[in-house]
Amino acid sequence: MTVTTLEIDAARIGVLCGGTSPERPGSLASGKAATQALTDAGLKARMIDLAEVSVPDLAGQIDLALLALHGLGGEDGKIQGALDILGIPYTGSGVLASALGMFKPTFKTLLKGHGIDTPAWEVVDPAEPMASMVARIEQRIPDWPIFFKPCSGGGSLVAGIAHNRADLESLLSAARSEPYEQFMVEEYIDGMPCTVGVLEIEGELMALPVLGVETRRDFYDYEAKHDLSQRTEHCPAPLPATQLQEMQTTALNVHRLLGAHGVSRVDFMVGANRTTVLEINTIPGLSAQGNLAAMSRAAGISYPEMVRHVLHTAMTKPAYIP
Ligand SMILES: Nc1ncnc2c1ncn2[C@@H]1O[C@H](COP(=O)(O)OP(=O)(O)O)[C@@H](O)[C@H]1O
Ligand SMILES: [Mg+2]
């Protein structure tokens, strides 16, 4: 069955979540809340944990997929490609934007080519001898500290600040147990992490109010993301109105530049003299307590309305993009 806007009320909606990504817990929270919101709205929604159901088995079981998957295997274009082959419409970005958004070095190259500020970076191989690695890094990024992170990670996992070689060495040794990842270091930006949600509403892309995070932890790390007592959120962020507007414009530009569809969240660092883009999340967290929900609320959009807007992005895909 091909789903049109009129048929959405009758469609069997699969809320795909969970899976085997390191971001599984957040994804299950997104999936549970979104399923509840759709069910409360009278739609036929079912939460499907991809750790329990194989993707090819979805054929014939669902008419439409709402993607609440985060990280590798869910947000990186692979599920999107599989659903394309199965002919199941899905929410959010297609294969190309999902893959580009997941791999930070390529994403940042794209930003740089379009004059959008992003911290300087260098891809590093944990197997490389320390001396040559540090020499290479210092050529690109002369000042310490530097910020270490996976190229395709999320949720601030395996990331950290290196003030010196010894810190970098200990981050690298933790990274060595993540065999399938690649890693990078970035110029360290001292400032406030901010994020801007982008949501398609009745065919129009809207940048939501900027959300800023304060935390007493060293950075907006895994604990700060998962424990409300470790952070304070402000929406809109306490910044001048013109700066907030510029960030919203940049978020829309980044979303469009990538060819993202329907929904995304662009993460920034706001320093004293610099507002710079860290990354895009093509499947932002969809839980009722998440950033996207908070930004939607600040824009006067309730949680059930937000989920409904995300659902509708499955029906408004543009002409063919790989
Ligand atoms: N270059 C940087 N300088 C300072 N802090 C950073 C830098 N990159 C990331 N961080 C910190 O790590 C957090 C997560 O980084 P991000 O690039 O958004 O990765 P993730 O995909 O894990 O969310 C940011 O919110 C910020 O607190
Ligand atoms: Mg982020």
Per residue in 30-46, pLDDT (tens digit) is 999 999 999 999 999 99
Average pLDDT, integer, range 52-80: 95
Question: What pLDDT score was predicted for residue 4?
Answer: 66
Q: Reply yes or no on whether the pLDDT at 264 is more than 60.
A: yes
Residue of the CA atom closest to atom 27 of ligand 1: 220
* The ligand 1 atom nearest the CA atom of 186: 1
Q: Reply yes or no on whether the pLDDT at 1 is more than 50.
A: no
Average pLDDT, integer, range 218-232: 92
Q: Reply yes or no on whether the pLDDT at 16 is more than 50.
A: yes
Residue of the CA atom closest to atom 2 of ligand 1: 188
- CATH of span 100-116+190-315: 3.30.470.20
Closest ligand relative to 194 C-alpha: 1
Whether 159 is in the pocket of ligand 1, judged by its Cβ within 6 Å, is: yes
Average pLDDT, integer, range 17-38: 93
Fold of 6-91: Rossmann fold (3.40.50)
> How much is the mean pLDDT over the chain?
95
Nearest-angstrom CA–CA distance, 4 and 314: 9
Closest CA relative to residue 208, chosen from 255, 261, 258, 265? 265
Count the Cβ atoms, other than its own, within 10 Å of residue 265.
Answer: 24
With tokens 């507002």, the residue in question is 275
Whether 75 is in the pocket of ligand 1, judged by its Cβ within 6 Å, is: no
Average pLDDT, integer, range 36-61: 96
pLDDT category at 320 given cuts 50, 70, 90 is confident
* The ligand 1 atom nearest the CA atom of 188: 3
Question: What pLDDT score was predicted for residue 2?
Answer: 53
* The ligand 1 atom nearest the CA atom of 267: 18
Residue of the CA atom closest to atom 20 of ligand 1: 154
* The ligand 1 atom nearest the CA atom of 195: 25
Ordered by start, the domain boundaries in the chain are 6-91, 100-116+190-315, 121-187
Per residue in 154-203, pLDDT (tens digit) is 888 889 999 999 999 999 999 988 877 899 999 999 999 999 999 999 99
- CB within 8 A of 35, min separation 6: which ones? 15, 45, 46, 47
Residue of the CA atom closest to atom 13 of ligand 1: 220
Whether 285 is in the pocket of ligand 1, judged by its Cβ within 6 Å, is: no
Average pLDDT, integer, range 136-141: 98
Q: Reply yes or no on whether the pLDDT at 3 is more than 70.
A: no
Whether 148 is in the pocket of ligand 1, judged by its Cβ within 6 Å, is: no
Question: 121-187: what CATH class?
Answer: alpha beta
Q: How far lies 133's CA from each of 137, 141, 186, 215, in Å?
A: 6, 12, 13, 31
Closest ligand relative to 70 C-alpha: 1
Q: Reply yes or no on whether the pLDDT at 235 is more than 60.
A: yes
Residue of the CA atom closest to atom 24 of ligand 1: 220
Give percent of the chain above pLDDT 70: 98
Q: Reply yes or no on whether the pLDDT at 57 is more than 50.
A: yes
Of 21-25, 54-58, 259-263, the range with the lowest mean pLDDT is 21-25
With tokens 């310490």, the residue in question is 144
- Kindly state the DSSP code that residue 220 receives in the 8-state scheme: S
Residue to mutate, 219, 225, 254, 291, ligand 1, most ligand atoms under 8 Å from C-beta: 219
Compute, in angstroms, the gap from residue 220 CA to the centroid of ligand 1.
7
